[in-house]
Structure 1
């Protein structure tokens, strides 16, 4: 289907926004009136630029406070409208958004509103313009799309139809099922936006917190399914008011926006099956990753990281035959230590490899979703790994079978399985810059098929840390994404000061007997992150633990959490540069991450 986006979604001037939309691959745009008013270019110049860029000018918006008014006020409405219709003629546009009245409505009567829309339709027709009437969620009288459709039906004018906006419908909890009762030819336009689940007034929610599809909590695939079943064949258009998007690079935001539409169209098509129709495109279907392939730590000197790995029982598997890279493994956990092109860099997580069933198909899907590729030189005899760049700059690699391990030489053969040893990577925690958190949720959801879990907020010494976990259905891959408190924002890819204050990224390693592993690690010289004695006094009050068990936890600096499904026991290593390790043992069916212990960890890292 054709794609479109409102210019209000992007930062910059109108010309810059048009270039960004065209570069991303959009078919058209909605022209947001304030963008045109502020532009130094004439309407004719904007029209010519759009033509050169291959962009259709789909919708002029918004026209406010048009209906439900007395006759003297409506005379002013007609005067305003005629000026806008003349402007649209200069722009070469034929569709205008008319919002339900918020400010001047005084007559709560559908017949009056319909009659006024009919008269507006007569005037619009004389300029070759159609009107798409939209029920704003905060409209004074009309705040429900079903009432907006009833008014349009009463107006009974070929130039008057409805605009359906997912935010205005879903934010009010309206059932979108009735969309299927609207004739397709009367649905003039469709606007899409996601949003987080928030408890606040709907106007503020709309103006500041909308998101692109796949980044929030709305069921947009279900919503779009109703629209497509109604027979709508117009463009899928985004109208997203968001403070972050208005401050970031418009080209990057435009790519993010188009990724969201392609993901939404694909998900809706799969839900509808053959009912989706021939115009709805699909992406290559690939399952979510089956597990972590490797995690890469990069620095000028990774020696201190490798000391930690040795203390945790990892085996040194050798050096890469051509590159300044070393490999450490234990069980299915593989840690790559990379010192290439890292002059002056402190240790940080630079790449995460995932084991996918069909790497080529996964890479093809990623390309369709506009994921930037990683430029990587592959020599003869080396495993081909498809690489992508995540929103925060982390490199993501797609492989299968870990055949690349054979490229490392000079190490020891891995030790066999033993009780109290690392088995696999449990999760990888990635700190996100403020401008890329929502984009990261969309990226890992759309490109890798990971499912977003509910947002959690953890109190730390510098403020609340927002966390959202992306994971596969079977929990083979768990990827917590953390957003720093405002005062700790900086370069999440190497800000040493931010890491020193407890916001380093970390790799969580699973084991089957954490007590045995912790003892052996400390015998090898590991000094785990110190845990205050007050924490263990509190454990006695919170959980029904035997005194000797609490004593063992205290002696080994282990933290504990449990719920009705099981328990979670874990410890942390010291932070090296911007990286630390967590070792975890999941008991029973425990599915969390010890969130109650995070403030203790953050405080200990901040003071240690």
Structure 2
């Protein structure tokens, strides 16, 4: 299917947006009115630029507050429409998006809405243009896709159809199965957007928190399948309003957008069994890093000389079919590196269970989560905002189907030189490991006594960990009863280690202790300086 994206989904001027959209491999785009109005190029110049880039203008949008209005307002609305039709002819665009009316003067009358939309369709047809009518989730009266389809059906004009937008449908909790009752030829356009599950005003949710497929919590694969089952054969188009994307690199955002659509179409994922190894550059602290790895008993660490600082360079992941896993990434035209530059390699399973519990990467959270989901097939868990002394760390855990490959992706508003790459090493005696690290001259991060006072209040019967610098967490929930003990080493270069001990059914990451760890890292950094 053709692939399209709304110009509002990426940052930059209109020419910059179109160049990035074309470079990412899109076939066309939705031209957002504000992008054209602010552009010094004439409509004819925009048309020629799009053609030179191999792009088709799939849709011009939005046209607002047209239908179900008092008679004295209809003439003005038709005059506005005629202006848009002439503009679209200059652009070479032949499909106009009409949003359901949100104005307070809109009349709750489907017959009137159908009559006025039929008139609009007649005017549009005279210009060779079609109308795609969309039910906004916050429409004054028409806020459900089945009602918008009923009105289109009542209007009965060949130039009038519906636009289906995944956000407007799924954010309301509507059943998308009803889409299959709409004839495919009357679905004029499909707009796709994912979103995290949030409890907030729907308009604000839509305007600021939409994201690309695979970055949120909606079932877009199931939604898209319903639309295809109805017989829709038009483009898959992304319409994403997101504050972060609007200030992010245009080319990178467009590339992520295309990756999300390819993954949505493909739907497959590699089978991952475990971590095989991590590769660490030693930097100038090679002796210290080697000593720490030896004390940890970390047999899955591969150290390579060089680099200006110790850092995580690569992650090896075991899979029954390394070639197939690598081919999956290639088929998506996805980079072989995670968004923070960490190289990923696939290998046949090495003997024995891995001592790598999980790894953490730092990158724009949505971007990293998309890459992990599309390329590695990891399943996202709840996104968390973790307090840091100088801001927030937004973190999201992602796991393989068997739970053995666990990656935490983090994005922080803290100083750029504070490291976030880390490797968690499994251990069956964290307290003993803390003693060995101290004896080797590499004591764990210092944890304040106040933490242990609070621990006694939160978890009656918890082990006495004062003086060990070991952190503790416990769960009693649907995942099972379990305990979690963990410690953190000081940072070497750009990387640090976590040592974890899981007891019982604990499956988390000790997120409740993250603010203490972050404060301890800041404190350690300040003491060194």
Give the TM-score taking structure 2 as reference length.
0.94
Q: Displacement, 1:236?
A: 0.6
Q: Displacement, 1:336?
A: 2.5
User: Mean Cα displacement is larger for which, 249-258 or 208-217?
Assistant: 249-258
After TM superposition, the structure 1 = structure 2 runs for residues 289-438 of structure 1, keeping only pairs within 5 Å, are: 289-303=272-286, 304-314=288-298, 329=299, 334-340=300-306, 342=307, 345-372=308-335, 388-401=336-349, 424-432=355-363, 436-438=364-366
Alignment partner of 1:80 is 2:68: no
Assess, with a 3 A threshold, how the Cα gap between structure 1 residues 358 and 145 changes in structure 2: closer, same or farther.
same
Alignment partner of 1:455 is 2:383: yes
Q: Displacement, 1:555?
A: 4.0
Gap regions ≥5 residues in structure 2: 525-529
After TM superposition, the structure 1 = structure 2 runs for residues 192-211 of structure 1, keeping only pairs within 5 Å, are: 192-211=192-211
1:281 matched residue in structure 2: none
Structure 1: distance between partners of 2:64 and 2:467? 68
Assess, with a 3 A threshold, how the Cα gap between structure 1 residues 335 and 258 changes in structure 2: closer, same or farther.
same
Task: Give the match's secondary structure for 1:302.
Answer: helix
The partner residue of 1:483 within 411, 427, 430 is: 411
Q: Displacement, 1:193?
A: 0.3
Structure 2: distance between partners of 1:523 and 1:33? 66
Would the aligned equivalents of 1:569 and 1:585 in 2 still touch at CA under 8 Å? Answer: yes
1:53 matched residue in structure 2: 53
Would the aligned equivalents of 1:365 and 1:447 in 2 still touch at CA under 8 Å? Answer: yes
Would the aligned equivalents of 1:302 and 1:339 in 2 still touch at CA under 8 Å? Answer: no
Would the aligned equivalents of 2:285 and 2:493 in 1 still touch at CA under 8 Å? Answer: no
Q: Displacement, 1:398?
A: 2.2
How many residue pairs match? The answer is: 519
2:527 matched residue in structure 1: none
Task: Give the match's secondary structure for 1:150.
Answer: helix
Structure 1: distance between partners of 2:422 and 2:279? 11
Structure 2: distance between partners of 1:106 and 1:528? 65
Structure 2: distance between partners of 1:468 and 1:159? 45
Q: Displacement, 1:545?
A: 2.4
1:585 matched residue in structure 2: 501
Would the aligned equivalents of 1:313 and 1:521 in 2 still touch at CA under 8 Å? Answer: no
RMSD: 1.9
1:408 matched residue in structure 2: none
Would the aligned equivalents of 1:26 and 1:258 in 2 still touch at CA under 8 Å? Answer: yes
Assess, with a 3 A threshold, how the Cα gap between structure 1 residues 166 and 105 changes in structure 2: closer, same or farther.
farther
Deviation readout 1:128-169 (Å, 9 max, x if unpaired): 000000011111111111111111111110000000001111
Alignment partner of 1:574 is 2:490: yes
Assess, with a 3 A threshold, how the Cα gap between structure 1 residues 200 and 554 changes in structure 2: closer, same or farther.
same
Task: Give the match's secondary structure for 1:246.
Answer: helix
After TM superposition, the structure 1 = structure 2 runs for residues 180-329 of structure 1, keeping only pairs within 5 Å, are: 180-267=180-267, 285-303=268-286, 304-314=288-298, 329=299
Would the aligned equivalents of 2:316 and 2:344 in 1 still touch at CA under 8 Å? Answer: yes
Would the aligned equivalents of 1:311 and 1:525 in 2 still touch at CA under 8 Å? Answer: no
User: Mean Cα displacement is larger for which, 457-466 or 237-246?
Assistant: 457-466
Q: Could you list the runs of 4 or more consecutive aligned residues of structure 1 that deviate by over 3 angstroms after TM superposition? A: 515-526
Deviation readout 1:414-454 (Å, 9 max, x if unpaired): xxx9xxxx96100111122xxx2101111000111110011
After TM superposition, the structure 1 = structure 2 runs for residues 511-590 of structure 1, keeping only pairs within 5 Å, are: 511-545=427-461, 549-550=463-464, 553-564=465-476, 565-590=481-506
Task: Give the match's secondary structure for 1:426.
Answer: strand
Would the aligned equivalents of 1:311 and 1:526 in 2 still touch at CA under 8 Å? Answer: no
2:165 matched residue in structure 1: 165
Structure 2: distance between partners of 1:539 and 1:204? 38
2:144 matched residue in structure 1: 144
1:107 matched residue in structure 2: 107
Structure 2: distance between partners of 1:177 and 1:286? 25
Structure 1: distance between partners of 2:269 and 2:108? 52
User: Mean Cα displacement is larger for which, 85-94 or 285-294?
Assistant: 285-294
The partner residue of 1:445 within 358, 373, 396 is: 373
Would the aligned equivalents of 1:97 and 1:134 in 2 still touch at CA under 8 Å? Answer: yes
Q: Displacement, 1:347?
A: 2.2
Would the aligned equivalents of 2:279 and 2:315 in 1 still touch at CA under 8 Å? Answer: yes
Would the aligned equivalents of 1:67 and 1:105 in 2 still touch at CA under 8 Å? Answer: no
Assess, with a 3 A threshold, how the Cα gap between structure 1 residues 539 and 158 changes in structure 2: closer, same or farther.
same
Give the TM-score taking structure 1 as reference length.
0.82
Structure 1: distance between partners of 2:109 and 2:367? 43
Task: Give the match's secondary structure for 1:301.
Answer: helix
